[in-house]
């Protein structure tokens, strides 16, 4: 039997988008269906979301259920995967508190993801301490479940590095207790950090540049048709650029050979489309229409599944309650080991 333990999660700051899908969700469903794992945990990081949404608890609360619906809609199966709500597991907070002793302020300040996210949110020096210590709480989330594999997008790489450092430091001081996690990145380069529809930053719930998995078909088409392409490709006959052209990045992430038979018989594969575009003579509108067809086909089954699950929200909460109960047992067992190792087990 496999001894792999997978863990991954999302912040309930909005509905999930196609960046989440190619960066992490698609992989989760594939792994779930291999049965090559001992445990698979997927969590909704509501406590983490509150660190930069502290004045907006209702938003976070609403999005817990939205994210749960997104999970179910992409095909995560609660019988195979333990889905839980972070804030309902106090053991995670307790672990974070002890890990804080193992990390210096300057190390946190150097964390590239923390740096980027601070500037993205305009925090500067007014950064909430809870947000600043985000890598520490993430290390607690990972280690509480003895996760060996963490499938996430590239932006999480520095987080995993910092979690590994915490594990090593802990084990060095207190004896072998925690397990070093391994990051699982998307293998397709376009999926590492999918850009937003604005073509500038990464697609992110907090930036309003997303195509949501539950996006209405008309709204999605509108977003795609107004997407950023190549500013130098003014007339159809002009040669176009692929590099930094978000429409092509999305095609790299989503397009499969069978899409040509179905939607665009003029070409056999994406390379042919790219060549024509670079040569000149292929207009943006045609390429965007193709992308729209692909994304509509990809998201339609998700929309239908979501609509089914939306009919019974109490059942979704019940699924989360059960998952949380199960996850809490695992976290409590690790916390006991941690306290024993740290010699703070008195009674
Ligand atoms: P927020 O803006 O609130 O941070 P987010 O859109 O960045 O939200 P997260 O909940 O922080 O989403 O990320 C959840 C997971 O999805 C992480 O594994 C992250 O690496 C991955 N992810 C998020 N955005 C992208 C993206 N644009 N491309 C690839 N992976 C992504
Ligand atoms: Mg994020």
- Residue 10 domain-assigned (yes or no): yes
Q: What is the pLDDT of residue 228?
A: 85
Of all atoms in ligand 1, which is nearest to the CA of residue 13?
3
Phi, psi of 234 (to 5 degrees): -85, -45
59 and 134 in a single domain? The answer is yes
Residue 114 pLDDT class (50, 70, 90 cuts): confident
Which residues fall within 8 angstroms of residue 190, CB to CB, at 6 or more apart?
A: 22, 249, 250, 252, 253
User: In the chain, what is the greatest distance between 2 CA atoms, to the nearest angstrom?
Assistant: 79
Say which CATH number the domain at 185 has.
3.40.50.620
Extract the tokens encoding 57. 């608890």
Q: Which of 65-69, 136-140, 193-197, 205-209 has the lowest mean pLDDT?
A: 205-209
Length of the chain: 347
**Cα Rg of the chain (Å, integer):** 22
Task: Give, for ligand 1, the residue of 6, 7, 9, 11 to mutate: max count of ligand atoms closer than 8 Å to Cβ.
Answer: 11
- Residue 209 domain-assigned (yes or no): no
Which stretch of DSSP H or E encloses residue 5? strand 5-10
d(CA 103, CA 115): 16
101 and 52 in a single domain? The answer is yes
224 and 296 in a single domain? The answer is yes
175 and 42 in a single domain? The answer is yes
Mean pLDDT computed over every residue of the chain: 94
**Do residues 345 and 339 lie in contact, with contact meaning Cβ atoms separated by under 8 Å?**
yes
Determine the distance separating the centroid of ligand 1 and the alpha carbon of 21, expressed in angstroms. Answer: 9
Q: What is the pLDDT of residue 117?
A: 84
Determine the distance separating the centroid of ligand 2 and the alpha carbon of 255, expressed in angstroms. Answer: 25
Instruction: Considering every ligand atom shown, identify the ligand nearest to the alpha carbon of residue 59 and give its number.
Output: 1
Q: 245-300 pLDDT, tens per residue? A: 999 999 999 999 999 999 999 999 999 999 999 999 999 999 999 999 999 999 99
| Whole-prediction pTM | 0.94
Residue 207 pLDDT class (50, 70, 90 cuts): confident
Q: What is the pLDDT of residue 125?
A: 74
**Atom 26 in ligand 1: which residue has the minimum CA distance?**
19
Look at residue 120 and tell me whether its pLDDT is greater than 90: no
Residue 227 pLDDT class (50, 70, 90 cuts): very high
Q: 19-67 pLDDT, tens per residue? A: 999 999 999 999 999 989 999 999 999 999 999 999 999 999 999 999 9
- Cβ(23) – ligand 1 distance below 6 Å: yes
Q: What is the pLDDT of residue 190?
A: 85
Domain membership of residue 220 as a residue range: 215-307
Q: What is the pLDDT of residue 58?
A: 98
Domain count, the chain: 2
221 and 166 in a single domain? The answer is no
Say which CATH number the domain at 268 has.
1.10.240.10
Q: What is the pLDDT of residue 232?
A: 87
Nearest-5° Cα angle at 288, 285 to 292:
135
Which string of DSSP letters, residue by residue, matches 258-302? HHHHHH-TT-SSHHHHHHHHHHS---HHHHHHHHHHHHHHHHHHH
- Residue 202 domain-assigned (yes or no): no
Q: What is the DSSP letter of 113?
A: H
Mean pLDDT of 77-87: 98
150 and 242 in a single domain? The answer is no
Nearest-5° Cα angle at 112, 16 to 18:
15
**Atom 21 in ligand 1: which residue has the minimum CA distance?**
153
- Cβ(26) – ligand 1 distance below 6 Å: no
132 and 229 in a single domain? The answer is no
Q: Looking up tokens 């939607």, which residue turns up?
A: 263
- Cβ(204) – ligand 1 distance below 6 Å: yes
236 and 144 in a single domain? The answer is no
249 and 326 in a single domain? The answer is no
151 and 60 in a single domain? The answer is yes
d(CA 188, CA 190): 6
120 and 253 in a single domain? The answer is no
Task: Give, for ligand 1, the residue of 204, 209, 246 to mutate: max count of ligand atoms closer than 8 Å to Cβ.
Answer: 204
Look at residue 124 and tell me whether its pLDDT is greater than 80: no
Residue 118 pLDDT class (50, 70, 90 cuts): confident
Which stretch of DSSP H or E encloses residue 117? helix 112-120
- Residue 346 domain-assigned (yes or no): no
- Cβ(337) – ligand 1 distance below 6 Å: no
Look at residue 201 and tell me whether its pLDDT is greater than 90: no
Q: What is the pLDDT of residue 50?
A: 96
Determine the distance separating the centroid of ligand 1 and the alpha carbon of 219, expressed in angstroms. Answer: 21
Look at residue 206 and tell me whether its pLDDT is greater than 80: no
- Cβ(113) – ligand 1 distance below 6 Å: no
- Residue 281 domain-assigned (yes or no): yes
């Amino acid at each position: 039997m496999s001894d792999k333990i997978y863990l991954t999660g999302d912040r309930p700051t909005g509905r999930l988008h196609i960046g989440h899908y190619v960066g992490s969700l698609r992989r989760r469903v594939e792994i779930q269906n291999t049965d090559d794992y001992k445990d698979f945990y997927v969590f909704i990081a509501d406590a983490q979301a509150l660190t930069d949404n502290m004045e907006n608890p209702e938003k976070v609360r609403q999005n817990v259920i939205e994210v749960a619906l997104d999970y179910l809609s992409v095909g995560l199966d609660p019988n195979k995967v333990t889905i839980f709500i972070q804030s309902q597991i106090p053991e995670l907070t307790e672990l974070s508190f002890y890990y804080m002793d193992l990390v210096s302020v300057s190390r946190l300040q150097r964390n590239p993801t923390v740096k980027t996210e601070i500037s993205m949110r305009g925090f500067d020096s007014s950064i909430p301490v809870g947000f600043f210590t985000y890598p520490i709480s993430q290390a607690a989330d990972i280690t509480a479940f003895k996760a060996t594999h963490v499938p996430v997008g590239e932006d999480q790489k520095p987080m995993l590095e910092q979690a590994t450092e915490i594990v090593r430091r802990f084990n060095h001081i207190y004896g072998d207790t925690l397990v070093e996690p391994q990051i699982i990145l998307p293998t397709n380069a376009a999926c590492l950090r999918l850009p937003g529809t604005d073509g500038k930053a990464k697609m992110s719930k907090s930036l309003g540049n997303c195509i949501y998995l539950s996006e209405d078909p008309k709204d999605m088409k509108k977003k795609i048709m107004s997407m950023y392409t190549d500013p130098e490709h003014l007339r159809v006959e002009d040669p176009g650029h692929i590099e930094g052209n978000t429409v092509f990045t999305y095609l790299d992430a989503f397009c499969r050979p069978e899409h040509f038979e179905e939607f665009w018989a003029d070409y056999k594969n994406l390379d042919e489309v790219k060549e024509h575009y670079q040569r000149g003579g292929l207009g943006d509108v045609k390429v965007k229409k193709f992308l729209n067809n692909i994304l509509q086909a990809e998201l339609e089954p998700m929309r239908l599944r979501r609509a089914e699950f939306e009919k019974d929200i109490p059942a979704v909460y019940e699924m989360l309650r059960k998952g949380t109960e199960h996850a809490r047992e695992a976290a409590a067992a690790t916390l006991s080991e941690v306290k024993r190792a740290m010699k703070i087990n008195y009674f």
